[in-house]
Amino acid sequence: MSLEEGMNLGAQLLWRWRYDKGLTQHEACKYLDQHPVAWSRWENGHVKPGRSTAVAIERITLGTVTCGSWDEDPLPEYEIDPSIKENFDATAMWRAKEDKRKKGKK
């Protein structure tokens, strides 16, 4: 199974929330007192969090990742955020974001 095939809406939203906050998986999992491996498996769509954990995720993300988003079927490839795909170069994206931030301070 490729990354995209298992990517339900909850997984995609969780990844996007963490990325937008500039958090590593290790940093983000501390909000829930979870192991980074669990967080990684949720983001990759390999497993869904339990109901109580999904509620906690909804709370820490201020509703960005709703409990119900985990229950949806995997998204078709055309609905997957391109930055989540396996061949995505996150380093280039981070550099571009940092360059934009630096230019804004000038």
pLDDT digits (tens, 9 = 90+) for 75-91: 666 666 665 555 555 56
Q: Does domain 4-105 have CATH number 1.10.260?
A: yes
Joined together, the tokens standing for residue 8 give 């339900």
- The arithmetic mean of pLDDT across residues 28-35, rounded, is 92
Domain boundaries, the chain: 4-105
pTM over 0.75: no
- Alpha-carbon distance 103 to 38, whole Å? 37
Report the pLDDT averaged over residues 14-40.
93
* Residue 3, pLDDT score: 43
**Whole-angstrom distance, CA of residue 67 vs CA of residue 8:** 12
Nearest-Å Rg of the Cα atoms of the chain is 14
CA 64 – CA 61 distance, rounded (Å): 5
